[in-house]
Amino acid sequence: MATHKQNHTGRTIAVISGGALVVWLLWRGRGKGKGKGKGSGDDRDSTPSAVEVWLRSGDRIELNGVSSDLATAVARAGAAGTARVFATGDARHGWVTQVIAALKAAGVAINAPPSLLN
């Protein structure tokens, strides 16, 4: 009787694992530019979207969640045209001012809380 129960457990695990694999493969295929034919008529992926810039302590920048430097952040934001800027509470005021000034000088439209723009 124990063998019969183990066979069902093995099948159940195999079915669940296979289903999870299929779901993962389908989800993975929905990434940017994937799964679209040439005739889809959807050009949204060709236009860069706004970048997210986080200003951290120690004069550090995170660009879309990845550690970056100021020159790269300004270049990527300039290519996108818009930056959503946030600062942690321990970011130095002078650093925030410097980054926002560099973004403005590059012609980037800045979307930030009013407390950062003052």
Please state the domain extents for the chain. 2-32, 48-117
Query: Which phi and psi (to 5°) does residue 50 adopt?
Result: -60, 140
Query: CATH 3.30.200: does it fit domain 48-117?
Result: no
Q: What pLDDT, on the 0 to 100 scale, is given for residue 112?
A: 93
pTM of the complete model = 0.59
Q: What pLDDT, on the 0 to 100 scale, is given for residue 49?
A: 83
Q: Which residues contact 99 (CB under 8 A, 6 or more apart)?
A: 53, 55, 61, 70, 73, 85
Q: What pLDDT, on the 0 to 100 scale, is given for residue 44?
A: 45
List per-residue pLDDT tens for the chain, 118 residues long.
555 555 567 667 766 766 666 566 666 655 544 444 444 444 444 446 889 999 999 999 999 999 999 999 999 999 999 999 999 999 999 999 999 999 999 999 999 999 888 7
Q: What pLDDT, on the 0 to 100 scale, is given for residue 100?
A: 94
State the Cα torsion 26-31-34-36 to the nearest 10°: 90
